[in-house]
A and B are shown apart, each in its own frame.
Chain A
């Protein structure tokens, strides 16, 4: 039901409208520019906001494509309509769980997720690295500076006859005598270990410096008793391959790859350190203890 306003009230309103005058600055072009910008910003915010709405999940062609690919790899054919529906359903359930999980921040403090993110971030860093230029002189200098890595050390081929449960000097000497006479020393006594082409450093690491020196000075082809840091051993030196200096021309491909790896690694480290500059880093001092001591233990 409508109501007709009294004449006197309508006239008052009409006359007041006629009296409204816009301020002069509203006619300024700058004002128009600001208003237009605000309208565009609001429209953009509305449209983009709809796309990124955390409560909107799009099951699109990309989802289908991945589902079909996985299904095909497993079954050797494409899914039918019902199967694709089921796959979409699984994806959707997982997407819901994924979003809920993120909302609950269950990704925080999870080392597996941290590892994954680090790995992907490092891949991005790697993608932006460029192989450095090089020439023959650079490679040769690198080769000479790292020659120890390429030179072939002297290598020793030898056997050990293990005397079960006994490593005293007397027992091992008697055992060696038996071995040199061609007798195996009984069923349970001997277990043969064969070492082929072991470098000097490895012999030292396994048995100690004194043993390595004695082995290197031994004539090949006979069983001998040697003291090692954990008891006496029956050893026969079979052959010695003398050391050989590496030749650049033969190893150029390997050297190039090693040099490239080292340079790319330097670049990678520099790139990560550059990223670190935007953070305030508080570093606590550490003194190597457990691992270093364990390493020393291993070297002894």
Chain B
């Protein structure tokens, strides 16, 4: 691909955690070194991963599953066991595999897709689903596509090549359930740039749905080269669209109902945005001890970065800022736009900042922990769990892990909890598409800040 189709091809592994860790005796599974190998071999082709899988309405969200695959007769989990708020553990875990790759300064981006096949128990015209969502119905990757300056005949057309070029830049973000549909994320430095100018650049870009092209500023997939001791102004503007989403359900979000929040499933609201920062320490050398590392196979029972090998984590990554409706501003004439700014003072070493946001506050039972991290989706997965060995007797029946009740009563399949939801002891439980529409997330790609004299962010020109 790199030799013969360097610009037209791309290699973005789909649902990469699903098949489990890298299987040296087969042709399935990815470890962090697999991603490094691909990115080293063809950085313009292998530039990211689909760590937020499709199949979001299935009984096992994303079709990630505990003890999913039989590899050499041994049943193996999808990496991480399940998804986490619909995202695989490689992308969802702060300080995990994605942060390990970004911590090297690689051009390795986050993508999501629908993976549409069918609607499960329902016909293709039904708005309910127990399997997949249509392309764009639930998950979307928003990518900045630029006009091709050399294509004078078609420069107003959206062409496949310009989309692939856009994906390659990393100027993209992914969101589920129409949680947000615009994002301008910018870091600026130098004379004339302060929080206010960074903010105005971001507001303009978000309102016009265009790129942030200002000297001294960088956006997602780009790097800002600065002198040591610089002060960086960071601005974030998102649009949380008003009106109804594509969710067919109008009853209150049952996950939020657990903590007393009334919010219709088709009217999701962004609860907060976390800013995540990690330090960049350069590319790992192939063959070095910290180049490779398998994600722990018992993660679902025993999560914790302490058990993750050095090659698959970046312990410098952490949430450095949390914004919500108490701390963000809204545009005076359009309150769909939320505006946030902050400064990173006196930068000494190369680093990156990225964002995640959700409709879930921190500490929502079976959805988020007290630090706002997404919990395993085991608690909304209705699927049966295989026994640990083929033919074994320690499997779990369907519905055994469901925890969130869905109590809304309506007169149709859409204004009350629908009839296809899994029932445990007479109680409908959050599962299938209702689980997906309840729990929404977005992830941005990073902005790199390269400090002169510190580590070079080699993956981004």
A binds B: yes
Q: Which residues of A contact B (CB under 8 A)?
A: 70, 112, 115-116, 118-119, 126, 155, 160, 162, 164-165, 187-188, 191-199, 202, 205-207, 228, 230, 254, 257-258, 261-262, 265-266, 268, 284-291, 293-295, 297-298
- Is B423 an interface residue, CB under 8 A from the partner? yes
- Do B258 and A202 have beta carbons less than 8 Å apart? yes
Chain B residues within an 8 Å CB radius of A197: 259-260
Binds A, one of B21-29, B135-143, B246-254, B371-379: B371-379
Chain B residues within an 8 Å CB radius of A295: 379, 401, 403
Known: A187-B342, A268-B423. 14 other contacts (CB 8 A): A115-B131, A116-B121, A119-B121, A164-B320, A188-B321, A193-B322, A194-B326, A206-B370, A258-B407, A265-B427, A290-B385, A293-B301, A294-B81, A295-B401
CA distance A270 to B15 in the complex (A): 40
> Contacts A165-B320, A188-B342; is A289 near B363 (CB within 8 Å)?
no
- Do A188 and B320 have beta carbons less than 8 Å apart? yes
- Do B259 and A290 have beta carbons less than 8 Å apart? no
- Do A198 and B409 have beta carbons less than 8 Å apart? no
- Do A193 and B121 have beta carbons less than 8 Å apart? no
- Is B397 an interface residue, CB under 8 A from the partner? yes
Interface centre among A188, A288, A290, A297 (most CB of B within 10 A): A290
CA distance A291 to B393 in the complex (A): 14
Chain A residues within an 8 Å CB radius of B372: 193
> Quick one: closest B residue to A291, CB to CB?
B401
Chain B residues within an 8 Å CB radius of A290: 66-67, 81, 300-301, 385, 388, 394, 396
> Contacts A119-B420, A191-B322; is A112 near B120 (CB within 8 Å)?
yes
> Contacts A155-B260, A191-B323; is A116 near B426 (CB within 8 Å)?
no
> Quick one: closest B residue to A152, CB to CB?
B260
- Do B393 and A284 have beta carbons less than 8 Å apart? yes
CA distance A165 to B319 in the complex (A): 7
What are the nearest 8 A-B pairs in CB distance? Answer: A191-B322, A206-B363, A265-B426, A119-B121, A262-B426, A206-B370, A291-B401, A197-B260
CA distance A261 to B259 in the complex (A): 23
Interface centre among B122, B274, B400, B428 (most CB of A within 10 A): B400
Q: Which residues of B contact A (CB under 8 A)?
A: 66-67, 81, 118, 120-122, 125, 130-131, 258-261, 272, 274, 300-303, 318-324, 326-327, 342-345, 361-363, 365-366, 369-372, 375-376, 378-379, 385, 387-388, 393-397, 400-401, 403, 407, 409, 419-420, 423, 425-428
> Quick one: closest A residue to B396, CB to CB?
A291
How far is the CB of B13 from the nearest CB of chain A, in Å? 24
- Do A193 and B362 have beta carbons less than 8 Å apart? yes
CA distance A167 to B131 in the complex (A): 41
How far is the CB of B331 from the nearest CB of chain A, in Å? 21
CA distance A197 to B428 in the complex (A): 25
- Do B131 and A112 have beta carbons less than 8 Å apart? yes
Which listed residue (B260, B300, B375) contacts A196, Cβ 8 A?
A: B260
How far is the CB of A119 from the nearest CB of chain B, in Å? 4
Interface centre among B327, B363, B372, B428 (most CB of A within 10 A): B363
> Quick one: closest B residue to A122, CB to CB?
B419
CA distance A198 to B152 in the complex (A): 59
- Do A192 and B396 have beta carbons less than 8 Å apart? no
- Do A112 and B370 have beta carbons less than 8 Å apart? no
Which listed residue (B66, B318, B324, B378) contacts A193, Cβ 8 A?
A: B324
How far is the CB of A135 from the nearest CB of chain B, in Å? 20
A/B interface sample: 23 pairs, CB < 8 A: A119-B121, A119-B122, A160-B362, A192-B322, A192-B324, A193-B362, A196-B261, A198-B259, A199-B259, A202-B258, A206-B369, A261-B426, A284-B393, A286-B387, A286-B393, A286-B395, A288-B394, A289-B394, A291-B66, A291-B385, A293-B301, A297-B303, A298-B379
CA distance A289 to B272 in the complex (A): 35
How far is the CB of B93 from the nearest CB of chain A, in Å? 15
> Contacts A187-B342, A294-B401; is A207 near B318 (CB within 8 Å)?
no
Chain B residues within an 8 Å CB radius of A195: 259, 361-363
Chain B residues within an 8 Å CB radius of A119: 121-122, 130, 420
> Quick one: closest A residue to B368, CB to CB?
A206
How far is the CB of B59 from the nearest CB of chain A, in Å? 8
- Do B344 and A188 have beta carbons less than 8 Å apart? yes
Which listed residue (B122, B260, B375) contacts A198, Cβ 8 A?
A: B260
Chain A residues within an 8 Å CB radius of B131: 112, 115
Interface centre among B323, B342, B370, B427 (most CB of A within 10 A): B370
Which listed residue (A115, A126, A191) contacts B121, Cβ 8 A?
A: A115
How far is the CB of A264 from the nearest CB of chain B, in Å? 8
Interface centre among B122, B321, B369, B428 (most CB of A within 10 A): B321
- Do A289 and B388 have beta carbons less than 8 Å apart? yes
- Do B301 and A191 have beta carbons less than 8 Å apart? no
CA distance A174 to B419 in the complex (A): 53
CA distance A55 to B69 in the complex (A): 40
CA distance A126 to B395 in the complex (A): 29
How far is the CB of B392 from the nearest CB of chain A, in Å? 8
- Do A192 and B326 have beta carbons less than 8 Å apart? yes
Chain B residues within an 8 Å CB radius of A196: 260-261
CA distance A215 to B101 in the complex (A): 40
CA distance A102 to B362 in the complex (A): 50
